[in-house]
Amino acid sequence: MEKSKEQLERPPSEKPAYSIYTSDEKWFIVAVAGLAALFSPFTANIYFPAIPTIANAFNRSIEDINLTVTVYMVVQGVSPMFWGTLADRWGRRPMFNACMLILCLVCVGMALMPTNAYWLLMLLRCLQAAGSASTVALGAGVIADIAEPKERGMYYGIWNIGPMVGPCLGPVLGGVLAEGLGWRSIFWFLAISSGLCFLLILALMPETLRAYVGDGSIPPPRGYQPFIPVIGRKRKSSAPLDPSARPLRRGFINPFRLFLLPDVSLLLFFNGVVYAVFYGVTTSISTLFQDTYPYLTETEVGLCFLAIGGGMLIGGIVTGKVIDREYRRVKDQMIAASEKETDPEKKLSPEEVTKEEHFPIEKARLRLMPLYLGLFVVMC
């Protein structure tokens, strides 16, 4: 069987430790996942500059329209538990496609809805969140599928550009569209862009769930292949075709059982407080700024969100590099301590150091969290 150029260049003993994807292929997969993840905050934030305009169109108070933001955030917080569980069972690719298709269709409905149906606005905002919010969780799962723990921080940092750009670009585009073409154009824009993302995933995104494809060398089940198989095309002839080599698929796991784990609950509470403060600020900017600075147009109000979005964008990239450096620092410390160990039973090899039962992953990832939180509190 003819081998690919990459396989010929690699020594026989050198086998990828975690996945067979090349660096370029990983970046491509992360880029597509990051584009899909952009829609979660983008869909939420593009709406903010138009809140006063939509309130006038529906003849409702600002508080009533803010409730549509509240229900969006509630569904945004809950739906990833279900989509993520389904993705662990049925694969990443079909869940990405389902999320994008739902978002596209719901945005078409919002662009056409009558202004005397406030209840419909509330319902469609819930469905909109159900479609867009889970792309962040799915993207994180994709990175865990293809990247080793030691390099995930870098990939998470770059992948985070998508979710971080959303709060930066969303309000600006929302202000421009609402002022130039009316508030309905916001939802037409979302429908078109999410539809294009759906087609991109359908055409190019490979299945990465390790229960289906292992380290990427096992062909996915029928119907899971992209229409244009760009990833792994050169390796296709050498991939094993034995379906029995595929790992066992997970059964359905009740996501609410995670709340019984104290560490998970603490992390959710911590992030919940931070996001509550964040969205409390971003949701009120359009209303408060128009009252305080009445000379601002909708486009200029949208530009005011650039400060928050820009900080999130830069912070996401920098933090990804920092936590990878922290991971390497802790790993080097453990290797050095192991080399000084005189007891052979306690001595660990460099490969054993990073195993889950030995490596203090919480220390490596969260050691700087108090510093970040303190800075956040001071700035607030």
What are 94-147's pLDDT values in tens digits?
Answer: 888 999 999 999 999 999 999 888 899 999 998 988 888 778 888 888 888 888
Q: How far apart are CA 199 and CA 220, in angstroms?
A: 19
Identify residue 10 by its one-letter amino acid code. Answer: R
Give the confidence band of 368 by pLDDT, cuts at 50, 70, 90.
confident
The yes-or-no verdict on residue 4 having pLDDT over 70 is: no
The mean pLDDT value for 171-194 works out to 87
The mean pLDDT value for 249-266 works out to 76
The more confidently predicted of residues 344 and 142 is 142
The yes-or-no verdict on residue 359 having pLDDT over 60 is: yes
pLDDT of residue 265: 87
Give the confidence band of 244 by pLDDT, cuts at 50, 70, 90.
low
DSSP 14-31: ---SS----HHHHHHHHH
Average pLDDT of every residue of the chain = 79
Structural contact between residues 315 and 164, judged by C-beta atoms closer than 8 angstroms:
yes
Encode 155-199 in three state secondary structure.
Answer: HHHHHCHHHHHHHHHHHHHHHHHHHHHCCHHHHHHHHHHHHHHHH
The yes-or-no verdict on residue 70 having pLDDT over 90 is: no
Q: How far apart are CA 11 and CA 90, in angstroms?
A: 35
Whole-model pTM?
A: 0.71
The mean pLDDT value for 325-346 works out to 77
Name the token pair of 323. Answer: 């936590």
The yes-or-no verdict on residue 343 having pLDDT over 60 is: yes
CB environment 145-182: b (16+ within 10 A), e (fewer)? bbbebbbbbbbbbbbbbbbbbbbbbbbbbbbbbbbeee
* CA 233 from centroid of its chain's CA atoms: 26
Domain edges within the chain: 17-243+256-379
Q: How far apart are CA 72 and CA 84, in angstroms?
A: 18
318 CB-contact burial (10 Å; exposed 0-12 / middle 13-18 / buried 19+): exposed
Q: How far apart are CA 104 and CA 109, in angstroms?
A: 9
Q: How far apart are CA 238 and CA 261, in angstroms?
A: 43
| Percentage with pLDDT > 90 across the chain | 8
The yes-or-no verdict on residue 204 having pLDDT over 80 is: yes
Q: How far is CA 297 from CA 61, 125, 154, 320, in A?
A: 20, 25, 39, 36
The yes-or-no verdict on residue 340 having pLDDT over 60 is: yes
Instruction: Write down the CATH number for the domain with range 17-243+256-379.
Output: 1.20.1250.20
Q: Which of 136, 142, 137 is CA-nearest to residue 162?
A: 136
pLDDT of residue 5: 43
Give the confidence band of 378 by pLDDT, cuts at 50, 70, 90.
very high
CB atoms within 10 A of CB 36: 28
Q: What are phi and psi of 333, to 5 degrees?
A: -65, -40
Q: Which of 309, 59, 70, 305 is CA-nearest to residue 174?
A: 305
The more confidently predicted of residues 282 and 114 is 114
Q: What angle do CA 130, 133, 135 make, to 5 degrees?
A: 115
